[in-house]
Amino acid sequence: MAAAKKEKTAMRRGIELGGILLLYYAITLLPTPAGLSMEGLKALAMFFCIILMWALEPVPLPIISLLYVPFVVFTGMMKLGPALSNFANSSIFLIIAALMMSPAMEKSGLAERVVYYMLSKIGCTASRMLVGITVANIILAFLIPSTAARTATLLPVCLAIIELYRKRSNIEGRNNFAVALLLTMGFTNSIISSGILTATVPNPVVVSFIAQATGYTISYVEWLIFGFPPALIMTAFATWYISFVFKPEVNEIPGGAEHIVEKLKEKGKMSVAEWKTAIIFGLVVLLWLTGGITKIDTSVAAIIGVILMFVTNVITWQDAAKTTGFQFMLTMAGGFIIADLLFQTGAAKWLALTLFNALDIQHVSIAVLLLVVMAIVQYLHIPFIGTTKLATMMIPVVISIAQIAEVSPAVLAFPSGMLISGFPLFLFYNTISNLLVFGTGELEFKDFPKVGFPIATVAVLVFGVMAFTYWKWLGLYNL
């Protein structure tokens, strides 16, 4: 776990909270812009304030979410029931279940065995471990149709690798390798999803909207041909860039190779506890794989796995209680409250339309239009939790802009959709994968934008180049 932060004084907490509250009321006193309701202005003010609170942490993150419950009720923005319902979101229970399964992998010794086996194949350097996790993400993207489920699958392995790195390198507390490994797992998981139609929900949503506008349905193979190359390029770039920014303190784990050979011999045959854990975890992954057939939600599958681990005595309540799942449930809920307000009040749609209306789309070249549209869509990730809602709201707007500009809807909608599905990298709440890795306690708020903003910006340029070279050669403009 990361090193403990120095406690703030009561006076400093009061000053920060008071200042943020004054900022909220100052924003609500501004003239209401055309097309935005007073409730929408309040929602935007609350959004800016929660971002500020997450950055400053005048109180712990879970308490910030609790603070927002009476705040939205007192301001008349939400009734108590709808506000509290955000604490029961299915995504929250997926994260709780995933974090509760992690102790089983550690306690049984299965995570340690998997890590030693993997390192015996890929090597014991930090750089190779980062590449290994990236490759695992690429493979799993073809098998498991959920970024959250894939992250939950790899999380126990990553935590075990981090623990091994600490022990063998004699590094205590927060370290660059832990940050790099978790961000690489979370980010490359999302990025590679943009190139595989079934890897994440927003991709089929984009296909549906393009089909409605053009009458042409992009197939799985076509999406792969168009989307996989730029997704793979950005996945490789993200892996390199994260390791460049968060350069591991030690690359070669001291005595790593000999230690791994020795440990694998010591482990011997799998224990009963390991077999139980492997079978249960395998069942959960199978349910994630076949969710489209069984109609079992990823959250339900994870909860089933946790229940089986308790029933078979793989873990106890004491083991589960040590995880950060419960405090993270509170942290996430605050973000969900604000997201609901942005949608319900129309503030999110107003923000998007305002940005697009500022474009003189009838008097710019297609190249400029495409880059500007992609940039706006990309940076609209910042106020959003989840990519499906963003795709559902923005792709119809993008298609409308394409029709006004008299270009094929696919030219703008396809790259915009891929950016929406693959690059929710700006802040910890943008997607469930980010939330899962943030919930480990190894990362800080600032870690996400530090690498997320540059990677997302490069992605706009890469996808723009692909649109006017590779995709044009393949006939995207004719769809």
Evaluate if residue 454 carries a pLDDT over 80: yes
Three-state SS for 336?
A: helix
**Which residue would you say has higher pLDDT here, 353 or 1?**
353
HSE-up of residue 51 (Cα within 13 Å, Cβ side)? 17
What does the pLDDT look like over 195-207, one tens digit per residue?
A: 988 788 788 878 8
Nearest to 204 by CA among 188, 193, 192: 193
What does the pLDDT look like over 297-321, one tens digit per residue?
A: 777 888 898 899 999 988 888 887 7
* CA dist., res. 376 & res. 371, Å (int): 9
pLDDT of residue 1: 44
pLDDT grade, residue 254 (50/70/90)? low
Three-state SS for 174?
A: coil
Residues β-bridged to residue 252: 125
Number of C-beta neighbours around residue 215 at 10 A? 8
In DSSP notation, 104-115 reads HHHHHSHHHHHH
* CA dist., res. 123 & res. 251, Å (int): 11
**Which residue would you say has higher pLDDT here, 121 or 363?**
121
How far does CA 444 lie from the centroid of its chain?
A: 14
pLDDT of residue 94: 67
Write down the H helix ranges in 194-324.
202-214, 220-245, 256-267, 272-289, 291-294, 298-311, 317-321
Mean pLDDT, rounded, of the chain: 83
CA distances from 443 to 4, 96, 240, 401 (A): 12, 17, 19, 39
Contacts of 190 (CB under 8 A, 6+ apart): 147, 200, 421, 422, 423, 424, 425, 431, 433
